[in-house]
Every structure is written in structure tokens, then in C-alpha cells.
Amino acid sequence: MSSTSFERRRRRAGLLFVAPAAIVLLAILAYPIVESFILSTQSVRLVAGGVTKEWNSFANYIRLAGDETFRRAVVNTMIFSFGEVALVVSIGLAVALLLNHPLGRWGFFRIMLVVPWAIAPVANAVLWKWILNSNYGILNGLLKSLGLIEYYQVWLARPWSAFGFLLLIDVWKSVPFIALLLLAGLQRVPQSLYKAAYMDGAGRWQAFRHVTLPTMRSALAIAVVLQTIWSLRVFEIIFVLTRGGPADATVLMNFLAYRVTFNFLDIGYGAAIANIIFALTFLLAITYVWLMQPRKRRISS
Amino acid sequence: MSFASARSRDRGFRVLVVVGLILFVVWSAAPILWLIVSSLMQQQALIVQPPDFSLGNFTLENFTEVIVSAAALGRGILNSFIVALFSTAVALVIGAPAAYALARLAVPRANALAFLVLATQMLPGIAIAIPLFLVISRLGLIDNVLALGLVYLSFNLPIVIWILRGFFLAIPEGIEKAAAVDGAGVVGTFLHIVLPISIPPLGAAAVFAFVEAWNEFFFALILTRQDAQTVPLVIAQFAGQYQTLFGQMMAAAAISIAPVIALAIIFRNQIVRGFADGMMKG
Amino acid sequence: MSQIELRHVDKSFGAVGVCHDINLTVEEGEFVTLLGSSGCGKTTTLNMVAGLEDPSKGDILIGGRRVNDLSPVQRDVAMVFQNYALYPHMTVAENLGFTLKMRKMAKPQIAERVAAVAASLELTPLLERLPSALSGGQQQRVAIGRALVREPRVFLFDEPFSNLDASLRVKMRAEVKQLHQQLGVTTLFVTHDQEEAMSISDRIAVLNRGKVEQFGTPEEIYSRPATRYVARFIGNPQIDLVPGELEPGADGAVLRLAGVALTLPDFVPPPGAGPAVEVGVRPEHVRLTEAGIPAKVQLVQPVGAATHVVLGWEGGDLIASVPGFVHLSVGAAIHFEIDPRHVLVFDAQSGDRLM
């Protein structure tokens, strides 16, 4: 039997408890992160089944600056992320408000929320590939029978239409989680605040404006940051639906890094693109952590 | 403002809410409904315009065909079960003690560590994919189920730790002290007291980890070739190869999502509570 | 032997000191209460005795043996926690038996001991229930049972009744006191409720900012408080403190407060004391009279057995506690007297009691 006190035993046990997880995370993640930085400063070639690496300092990054496709991918990513965050957070908030209303408490609505969340992105992409099919797709059929289009459209053949549909598909998949997050935030707004606002003569809109929004501010900020991070990862729908086309209109940075590395086998250059994404995500993650810190000052309305 | 006008305004608002809820259900359900319906319809009925929804055109043929003809699907499902179960189970076994330690055991810089753990979950896959691919190919473990499972373990651990830590933080201190006075050591307290009262969040964490691993595509694409392919890869390939067999494509998709959809529906309340709350707790 | 002794015990968390040089001895079989407001270090002190926190300095002895490095089990102490701290997933029987199971006692013996304790606390019909299906009072009883089942050398109580409603609290107090009288186990009890401390303890240690202000019997603490802090902390309604001056007189000393002179017979102030003092007057030592010090009635608060009358006079406000009900109207002119034998005189600077 050990003969040390509660506090000391707990401190010792703590390290023991953390160790296995720490080892696994370090073993699987730490090396690749470091290696990724090293790779990005190398010119990597695959020669006869082997890999040769040669240091080329910041040549990969310099090359990025002059790369038309990369510039295109950055602009696409910015538009995509901005559009996705704006749409997902506003639709998510609307859904959360609906489900927080007494009429929206039915368990069925929760099922409607978790099902799109659980669907694999690939299955989602395949499903939409069928919906958007140019010859037999239900969307063409529906729009034609409603008289909205005259001829069947090849939705994924025109740049802006393809981009827009990818955005829509990813928004559809992303709304549930953000709605769940905001619903949890809504349920934390103290009911007494609404009673007080009502006693003060506030209407529904004013209560939303002066009670709900201010108390939801940090939940909304967290939703924005998380969704931005996730929007930088979009991959499956591009892979299945457009492969970046038409004419690179749907190439996002993440997909470009994949294509450069695994299709063009330009590994060092791919790593450089990956690191740009990593840096962006890192900044966003720091923002997220900062937002999660308990606030000292309370929001006054 | 008169009472009557307030009442009618209230009724107007309720109508608005109902319309909103209907729109929400249509938005969420329509694509899935179409997936299910078209997976149950014969090819000839799908390729006429408009689709012929007469009862005689509904069939289970697509499912039987897909199961019989696409051997890859069966193997993919098996592989997915292996990687998802492995990465979830191991993540729980080593993640739960870590979460407990970070929440309660006075680990130095516990909060910073917890955030670091969370940050690893946010890593963009592509950033680690390249070196990971190089290492795993050097080790000759490309297309190995276990290698893929280990990679998924490193994604699932942070999720598990983060969900459980939020819950452990809320356990009243008195219970652990009572257990210490009653003669339980740290391990005894964890096994006899902490774990049994944490079954709901353990369930939420498990469902979450399982769904993430089951659905993962990017690393499966890079790290497998054939034998270790998981369901999402099979589906993506299927959609490329048999892209005109719409009914079968949808049947395969339906089979691939069924297990996780079932889990999500069964554990919906734990998911709502466990995960959404955890993402906002500091 | 189960005497508890704390010798020069300090506890700090980083730079924040919580306990300073605590010296305390609980004799075998004694019931001692640590009393103080929140943040005074009383629960920390109790936790250190239990083995749940380590002292930064000093020694803790149980039964004459230094226990600083022993785990709670090795110290053979049992503890009842605030909010009960019952294991929510275990039935009452499992809660009671957990500690015996941890000691690897055989199942039939556990069942026997649990049954005996349950019977003594009238918990037998509840043995198969979960804590969530119990009332507050029943949960409290289980918490006590969990401590009893061990037959420990020492009982520790950490604000055990703070979640109970007032009437139940008084009832549980009596039960714990009876239990102590039956078993005679050395007990250390923590509370912030002075009335609870007074009614239950053999001796009370009043803690203030991590220091023991006074350690004595309830009577000593109430009638002869060592410091102004103790005097204010003990007694309900609170003691009134009136600023005054102390002058040497013919026989003893003379106390001047707001134009009133009180002769204190046979009292010789220690050298260096005063002249500025504060005079503590307990409400029961203020008598309403026909003649005497003039005052006005400010507030009348009947509490049943007595009526508290707040008097406004030159020296400020003063509460008089009068037995039974009195009928006075607010604003009425009245006279009162202070019993000089019972006044408490504190040095205005140090707060120490001079008389």
C-alpha cells in the first residue's frame, strides 16, 4: 500500500493516466507535422520506387506566389469559405431557433437534424451526383415540370453553377452540426432574462435582439470559427463530383494540395500548399481557443 | 396594444414557426428520401421523365444486385467495421483516463494540454497526409487495415478526450473525496465511481468516434489500395464505374450509411448534449 | 487512542495562504467544531486531517502518530461531506458497503454490517433504492451511515447539514449529537453556522483568515470571546459594538460611551490598554427601564420567545432582547440600562478583549 497523500497520489496517477494518449498522439501526429515543414523546403522526387529529397530552401513557397492555379485556388477557397460560413451559420441559427420553440421540441425534428450529420460526405456527394445528373437527374425533371427551365442542364459543366452546387451540397451537410451547437447555446440563455425583458415591455424581436443575440455572441463566434476550419477541409464532394473542374473553377486549396502531391507527385510543393492551410487553420484554432475562455466582462444590453 | 391584436399576432408567429419547421424538414429529408426511393426503383422507371412511381416499379433488386455483384462492398463494410471499432474502442480505453486526468488529477498545465489535444483535432488532414503517407509506405503498411485504424485512432482520441473532459469537469468533487476516504485509490475511484456514472457521455463519445471513422474518406484514399479499402472508397469507386446504374448506386450508398444513421438516431439525445456542449466548454 | 493534534500547520496554494500556524488538539472522544465564515480555511483544515490535502508545513497527528504521509484509509478516518457525495449509480446498500468492499471484506460480513447500520439509522426499507430516489434527509442519513459502517477512529463532518431545510437541520443536529454520545468517537465538525456549533460541540475553534481566533467551550466563546471578531461572529442577534473610552476610576475603571458613564467594579485595565475601546453589549443585557439612558424605538421585531427592539440613542443603534412580546410603537421615547457586569470591552486597535 502506498503511503502518500491524496493530492500527491493524484498528481502521480495523473501523469500515468495521460501517458498512453499522449504517446499515441505524439507518435502518430507529431512526426508528420514536423516532417511536413521539412518536406516543404525540399524538392522531392520519386525515382524508381525510392524517394530523393534535396533542400531547396523556400523555392516551393516562392513558386506558390507566381502560380496561377494556386492563386485561383486561394480565391476559390476564400469565396467558398465565406459563403459557406455565412449560409451555414445563418441557416443553423434559424434552425436552432425553430427547434428551441415549443412547437419544435418534437423528437422527430432532432432525428431530422442528426441524420444529415451522420451521412458520410462521400455518400452525400454520390447522392447529389445522381440528383444533378444531366440526363435523368431529379433536379432537371423537377425544374422542367415546374417550367423553370426549358432544357435539361449540365449543372456541373459550367464554372459558377458547379461551384454553387458544391457550396449548396456542403451547406446541406454542415447545417445540422452548427444548428446543434447553437441550440445548445440557446438552451443556456436563462429563461428569467426573457421574463424580465417581457416585463420591461420588449416584443419578440426586441427580446431576440437584446437578450438572445448578446448571450449567444460567443456561441455564434465559435460556430463561425469552427465552420471556417471545416470549410478549409472540403474534399470528398470535389473528388466525387468535379475533380476541380470545369477549368479549375472548383479547385480549393485542400484539393490542390492533394492533386499536386498525389496526382502530379510534386511532393515538396504539395507540402508547401498544405502548410499554408495548416497555418490558416492554426490561426483559426487559436481564435477558437481564445473564444472558449470564460469571459470576464459580461455583455450589457 | 389590445389583447385581441396581441393574440392574433401570436397566431401569426406560430404560423411562421410551423412554416419554418416544414421547410426545415423538407430541406433535411428530401435528398435522403430521394436516395431511399430511387434505391428501391427499377432502372427503367428511373430513366423516364418524370420517373414512373407506379407501385410495380418498386423492388429490392438493386440491393440484391449490389450485394451479389460488388464483392468490394462487403469487404469495404467489413474493413470499415474493423477500423471504426478498433479506433473507437482504443480511443475510449486510453482517452477516458487521459480526459479524467486532464479534468481532475492536477496534471501540470492541464488546460493548455487539453487545448493542445483539441487543436490536433483541427489539423487539416492534408498537412499530415503527405509525411504520413511516406512513413507508412516506407513501413510497407499501405493498404493495411491496422495502419488505417491507428491513423483514425489519432483523430478519435482528441474527440473522446474533449467530450469526456467536459463531463468529468462537472463531477462533484465530494464524490471523489468520499471514495478516497472510503479506501479507493485513484484507479479504484476511476473504475468504480467515475466510469459507471459516465456511461451517457461515454456513449456519446463512442458514437461520435465511430461515425467519424466510418465516414472518413481522405486518408482511406491515400493509405489504402484494395484489400483495406473502406466503405466510402468503395462507394466513390462504384459511382465512377457504374455511374449509369442509378438505382444500384443509391442502394450501395444506402447500405453504407445505414449503420451510422441508426447509431445517430438511437443516440440522438446524447449527441445533442454531449458533443454540442463539449465544443463550447472551456 | 484517537486524539487529533495539529501542530503549526500551514497551508498555501501558490502564493495564497489559507491556513496559518494552526495548533489544535481534539481529545479522545471529544466533539470539536471548526467554525468560521466561508474562506476562513476550515474545510481545508478538515481535508488535511482527512488526508485529502497536504499541509504545506507542520504536522498532523492522530492517536499520537504523525499521519502526514498516510492516505485517508490508513488514517482510519470517516467523513461526511457537504452535499452528501453519495455515489449516484449505487443503491443505498452499495453506498454503505463500498468502503468495506474496498477493504476486501467478505460479502456476507459486508451485508451484516450494512444491515446493522441501516437498522440503526432507520434506512432498512430504503436499502435497494438509488440516492436520486431519496429525500434530502434520507440522503443525509445514508451519508452518515457510510461513515458509521467503518467503525473508524475519527469522524469528520464537512458542513453536513447545509443543504437541509431549517427544521430538518435541527433534527439531524440532535441525532448527530446523540450518536456521538452513544459511540464516543472523536469528532471534528465544520460549519459556518454559529448556532449549530454552539448546540453540538464540546469545544469550538473559531477560525478567521486561516488563524484560530479562539478555542474553547461554547460558553467561553459566547461569554468571554477572546477577540472582537469572535464576539461578533457568535450570537444572534449580533452583539452591538459601541465606541467608548476607558478611564481609571476610584474602584476599578470607568467606561464612557456617548455621554454615559459605566462603572466597572474591580476592573484594572492592563497597562497600555485604551483609552480608545469598543464596548460589546449583547441584546439580552440591555434592559428597557423607566429611567436611564434615553432612546427612541426604531424597529420592533418579535421572534416568539423574545422581541428584539432596536433602540436609537446618542451612541448609535443598540438591540435589546426582551422576553415575550412587547408592544411599543416606532418612534416612541424610551429608556434603557446596560448591565455593567456583562459588558465586553475590546481594545479599539488590536480587537483583543480587555474585560
pLDDT of residue C62: 93
Interface check for C72 against chain A (CB to CB < 8 A): the answer is: yes
A269 in contact with B at a CB cutoff of 8 Å?
Answer: no
Q: Does one domain contain both C10 and C51? A: yes
Q: Based on the domain organization, do C158 and C212 belong to the same domain?
A: yes
Among residues C200, C229, C258, the one where a domain terminates is: C229
Task: For residue A255, give the amino acid letter.
Answer: F
Q: Which of B126, B261, B269 sits opposite A254 (nearest CB)?
A: B126
CB pairs under 8 A between A and C: 28
Residue C352 within any structural domain of the chain: no
Cα–Cα dist A18/A121, whole Å? 33
**Cβ <8 Å between B157 and A25:** yes
On whether both C221 and C261 belong to a single domain, the answer is no
Residues B161-179: tens digit of each pLDDT: 988 988 898 888 889 999 9
Cis before residue B50, ω within 30 degrees of 0?
yes
Which residue, of C198, C229, C260, is where some domain finishes? Answer: C229
Query: C74 contacts in A (CB within 8 Å)?
Result: 1, 3
Quick check: is C281 in a domain? yes
Please tell me the predicted confidence (pLDDT) of residue C29: 92
Query: What global pTM score does this model have?
Result: 0.84
* Same domain as C110, residue C21: yes
By the CB < 8 Å criterion, does A275 face chain B?
yes
Query: Looking at the structure, do residues C106 and C218 belong to the same domain, yes or no?
Result: yes
CA-nearest of A135, A214, A125 to A172 is: A125
A11 contacts in chain C (CB < 8 Å): none
C235 located within any domain: no
Q: Going edge to edge, which strands form the sheet with C333-338?
A: C286-289, C333-338, C293-302, C306-313, C316-323
Distance CA A65, CA B110 (A): 40
- One domain, residues C274 and C310: yes
Whether C77 and chain B come into contact, CB under 8 Å, resolves to yes
| The C-alpha cell that represents A198 in the structure block | 417581457
CA distance C22 to C188: 14
Residue C354 lies in a domain: no
- The stretch B189-217 carries a mean pLDDT of 92
Intra-chain end-to-end CA distance of chain B, in Å = 44
What integer pLDDT is reported at residue A1 of this predicted model?
A: 36
Q: Which three cell numbers stand for residue C120?
A: 440503526
CATH code at position C17: 3.40.50.300
Cβ–Cβ of B232/A236 closer than 8 Å?
Answer: yes
Chain C, nearest residue to B193 by Cα: C87
Question: In this predicted complex, what is the ipTM?
Answer: 0.87
| Residue C96 belongs to a domain | yes
- Beta-strand runs (E) in C171-239: 186-191, 203-208, 211-216
At B276, the pLDDT band (50, 70, 90 cuts) reads: low
- Which segments in chain A show pLDDT lower than 50? 1-3, 296-301
From C53, C54, C74, residue closest to A1, measured CB to CB? C74
CB contact under 8 A, C52 and A6: yes
* Option in A126, A136, A232 nearest B47 (CB): A136
Tell me the one-letter amino acid at C76.
Answer: D
Domain count of the fold of chain C: 2
Cβ contact C8:C166 at 8 Å: no
Report d(CA C132, CA B179) in Å as an integer.
Answer: 18
Per DSSP, A297 falls in state S
Query: Phi and psi of A150, rounded to 5°?
Result: -90, -45
Chain B segment 54-73 residues within 8 A of A by beta carbon are none
Residue at C48 is within a domain:
yes
- The β-bridge partners of C208 are C211
Q: Are B89 and B154 in contact (CB under 8 A)?
A: no
* pLDDT above 90 (res B271): no
For cell 510497407, the residue is B140
Phi, psi of A186 (to 5 degrees): -60, -40
The CATH superfamily assigned to A67-300 is MetI-like (1.10.3720.10)
State whether C85 and C172 are in the same domain. Answer: yes
Task: Report residue B180 CA to chain centroid gap.
Answer: 37
Query: Are C52 and A7 an interchain contact pair (Cβ–Cβ within 8 Å)?
Result: yes
Distance between CA atoms of residues A14 and C37, nearest Å: 33
The closest alpha carbon to B124, from A178, A181, A235, belongs to A235
Dig out the grid coordinates for B202 from the structure. 461515454
Phi, psi of B141 (to 5 degrees): -105, 15
Distance CA C280, CA C344 (A): 5
Paired with C319 in beta bridges are: C310
Domain finish residue from C178, C204, C229: C229
DSSP 8-state secondary structure symbol assigned to residue A187: T
Q: Hey, are the CB atoms on B178 and C87 less than 8 Å from each other?
A: yes
Interchain contact, A6 vs C74, CB within 8 Å: no
Q: Give the model's pLDDT for residue C258.
A: 78
Average pLDDT over residues B170-193: 90
What pLDDT sits at residue A82? 93
State how far residue A297 is from chain B, nearest Cα, in angstroms: 16
Which one of C47, C49, C79, C113 makes the best mutation probe of the B interface by having the most chain B beta carbons within 10 Å?
Answer: C79
**C187 HSE (CA, 13 A, CB side):** 30
Nearest CA in chain A to C71: A5
Residue B158: list chain A partners with CB under 8 A. Answer: 25
Judgement on whether residues C221 and C266 belong to the same structural domain of the protein? no
Q: What is the CATH number of the domain that holds C296?
A: 2.40.50.140
Tell me which DSSP letter residue C84 carries: B
Whether residues B178 and C50 touch (CB distance < 8 A) is answered with no
> CB within 8 A of A33, min separation 6: which ones?
A278, B123, B127, B128, B131
Tell if the CB–CB gap between C85 and B196 is shorter than 8 Å: no
Q: Which residues of A65-104 are buried (b: 16+ CB within 10 A; e: fewer)?
A: eebeebebbbebbeebbebbbebbbebbbbbbbbbbbeeb
Cβ-Cβ contacts under 8 Å between A and B: the total is 296
Q: If pLDDT is split at 50, 70 and 90, which confidence band does B259 have?
A: very high
Q: What is the pLDDT of residues C58-97, one digit of tens each?
A: 999 999 999 988 888 888 899 999 888 899 999 999 999 9
Closest in A11, A123, A185 to B280, CB measured: A185
If 0-12 CB within 10 Å is exposed, 13-18 middle and 19+ buried, where does residue B132 land? buried
CB B159 within 8 A of CB B278: no
Pairwise CA distance, residues B57 & C109, whole Å: 71
**Residue C246 DSSP class:** E
Once rounded to an integer, what is the mean pLDDT over residues B20-39? 92
Distance CA A210, CA B196 (A): 42
Sheet holding C4-13, edge to edge: C16-26, C4-13, C57-62, C65-66
Distances (CA, A) of A136 to B45, B47, C69: 11, 5, 78
CB contact under 8 A, A101 and B17: yes
Where do the domains of chain B lie, and which CATH numbers do they carry?
Answer: 3-57 (no CATH), 70-281 (1.10.3720.10)
pLDDT at B137 over 80: yes
Assess whether C302 and C201 both reside in one domain: no
Other chains touching C, judged by 3 or more CB pairs under 8 Å:
A, B
User: What residues of B are in contact with residue A263 (Cβ under 8 Å)?
Assistant: none
Number of residues that make up chain B: 282
In a domain, C247, yes or no: yes
> Of the ranges A79-93, A190-204, C16-30, C116-130, which one carries the lowest mean pLDDT score?
A190-204
Q: Inform me whether the C-beta atom of residue C113 falls under 8 Å from chain B C-beta atoms.
A: no
Q: What is the pLDDT of residue C144?
A: 92
Separation of alpha carbons B88 and B205, rounded Å: 9
- Are residues A36 and B127 in contact, defined by beta-carbon separation less than 8 angstroms? yes
Q: For residue C142, is it within any domain?
A: yes
Residue closest to C244 by CA, chosen among C283, C278, C197, C211: C278
pLDDT of residue B48: 76
Which of C52, C54, C70 minimises the CB distance to A3?
C70
Domain that holds residue C152: 4-229
Considering the domain architecture, whether residues C221 and C247 belong to the same structural domain is answered as: no
Contacts of C195 (CB under 8 A, 6+ apart): C236
Nearest chain A residue to B39 by CA: give it: A127
Copy the grid coordinates of residue B90: 482504443
Pick from C339, C142, A285: nearest CA to B116: A285
What is the percentage of chain B residues whose pLDDT exceeds 90?
40
Q: Are residues C206 and C151 in the same domain?
A: yes
For B267, nearest residue in chain A (alpha carbons): A114
Q: Mapping DSSP to helix (H, G, I), strand (E, B) and coil, where does residue B186 land?
A: helix
Q: Model confidence over B49-95: pLDDT tens digits? A: 777 777 777 888 888 888 887 788 889 999 999 999 999 999 999 99
- For chain B, helix (H) and strand (E) counts, in that order, are 15, 0
Query: In angstroms, what separates the C-alpha of A13 from chain C's closest C-alpha?
Result: 14
